[in-house]
Amino acid sequence: MRVLIVPASRHGGTAEIGRAMATSLRQRGFDVDVSQPEHMFDLSPYGAAILGSGLYLGDWLGPAKAFVEDHSVGLRRIPCWLFSSGPLGAAAPKEPVNPEVIERLIEQAGAEEHRLFGGRLEVDRLGRTERFIARWVGAEDGDYRPWDEIEVWVGSIADALRQADADADTSADADVDVG
């Protein structure tokens, strides 16, 4: 099965999560493509999708939201999962993502589920406004991405895709008229 991973990333941390997911799925025997949302136009070659975005002030990046909106019909035809990356350690707000945003994205994409993972902050790579906001909210430099948790989640997606394939094969066998 060919899987599409579309991680929207401003500073590369979420893109790194997407590439790690791709590596994990490839090791499990899947054919995987990783693309930025603004570079993806055709979902027809894919049997599943994983979409993600870095979080900024509780929201997904514009290109990620636009991708879901523009491809909602195609996404609803295939199994789809969503993830967000962004909380940064002890300074992370209790509700780092706006639940209304995620509910709308899940509905538009017909997603199986959404997962929230910690993010990465490298203050030296930020612009002046972003550095100000990071200081204002008390965000600390560091990598808060839970790589083991991400790997387990990707394993559960691989298992779900294999089960869906097995169920489809069983259903197709049952539909064969041998009489």
Distance CA 55, CA 8 (A): 10
CA angle 103, 69, 126 (to 5 degrees): 80
- Reference 52, options 2, 1, 100, 118; nearest CA is 118
pLDDT by residue (tens digit) across 40-58?
889 999 999 999 999 887 8
% of the chain exceeding 90 in pLDDT = 62
Distance CA 112, CA 110 (A): 7
The alpha helices in 46-146, defined as continuous H runs, are 62-70, 72-76, 99-109, 128-137
Helix crossing, 62-70 with 99-109: angle to 10°? 30
Decide: residue 177, CB within 10 A, 0-12 exposed, 13-18 middle, 19+ buried.
exposed
- Reference 122, options 1, 3, 2, 11; nearest CA is 11
Lowest-pLDDT range, 4-8, 121-125, 137-141?
137-141
| pTM, full prediction | 0.87
Q: What is the pLDDT of residue 149?
A: 96
Q: How far is CA 43 from CA 6, 76, 113, 139, 169, in A?
A: 11, 11, 19, 37, 22
